[in-house]
Structure 1
Amino acid sequence: MPGCWRVGLTGGIGSGKSTVAALLAGLGAIVVDTDRIARSLAEPGGAAIDAIRNDFGAEFIDAAGGMDRARMRSAVFADAAVRRRLEAILHPLIGAETDRQAAAAEGPIVVFDVPLLAESATWRARVDEVWVIDCAEETQVRRIVARSGWSSDAARAVIASQTSRTRRRAIADVVIDNDAITLDALAEIVGTLWTARAGLHA
């Protein structure tokens, strides 16, 4: 990754972060998606499965051999200690795979898609810039309900479990307001940011 400009991309659930990551990938960015890495670790045959089974029990493994995500989600939201136990398994593995993908990256910009960047004590120092995708909570709730079928209360509970908009914006070098704008307008904003940085770090 020598010479790559490192962007940490983050935002709350339903903010449109994944859409921005896809737009950046379309422009030529190498996107290292830590959420996707985490999911792959907990899929059947994933590197975290044995540790999850040993730590939490076979009831947290589904019939296919992957982590029972619904059961784990309920346990994590009910007990912060459970969340910490799961993070202790996943985070070192996520870090190792993130470093592997980043080391193989070629191009002017590598984007680290990190949902919980603002909650991390280490990520800010690992990137050159932090881009925060931001929108109103009502917009988040509407998007989550539309795409997942969750209730509004369930969506608000997940939002409440994440860091605040104020904290995210406080660590941002760039804030992209993704509230009442079209996809074309969002793409134009992202394209302008990309052009400014890719030209300097080509």
Structure 2
Amino acid sequence: MPKVSKVQRLVVVGLLAAVCLGAAETAPQEERARQLGANAAFELQRVLKSELTSAIQAGGPGQAIRVCAQKALLLTQGIPRLMDVPSMTVKRTSLRWRNEMNRPDAMEAKVLHEMEARAQAQEPLEAVLRLHNKTYHYFEPIRTTGLCLTCHGLEEKMPENVRQALDTLYPGDRARGYAAGEFRGVIHVSIPQAVVAEP
């Protein structure tokens, strides 16, 4: 067995220390990114629920669909400003998207397929955090609730005016036919690494 010189031992120890220190530095960043992503996802769901509930109370489900079509994307894009993190981006996406602006990209589609497989296997769904190109990507799974089913539920149970509004506003709609508690999609929060890098 070849002898290892003192210099070689020091290099190995140094490399191990660097790896450990790097991991130690990354862990707080990941935790901050995860918390920021969770807060953004919560805030988006709160804002959307408030808007849709008000719309339903004011004009019924048909009005809620119009609010979704006209305001949901703007409300989603406004979350970073609301949270005072303008370099962050927020998006809702699904394998069965309704608005073409919410079509998943390659990374989102991969995560969505992974979560869909877990949901089909009746395994618990948890938020996912990934680091790519110096940006943390936080994915919060969305499941359908009673309010969602107003416009995303079984078509035969929808009022005629709701179906007509959906057909008019979303001719390529893929987002109907869900039951309560089904996996619907994700909220994707993109956070530049620099945002969470400060000690």
TM-score by length of 1: 0.33
Q: Which has the higher contact order (CA 8 A, sep 6+)?
A: 1
Determine which structure has more spread, i.e. the larger CA radius of gyration.
2
TM-score by length of 2: 0.34
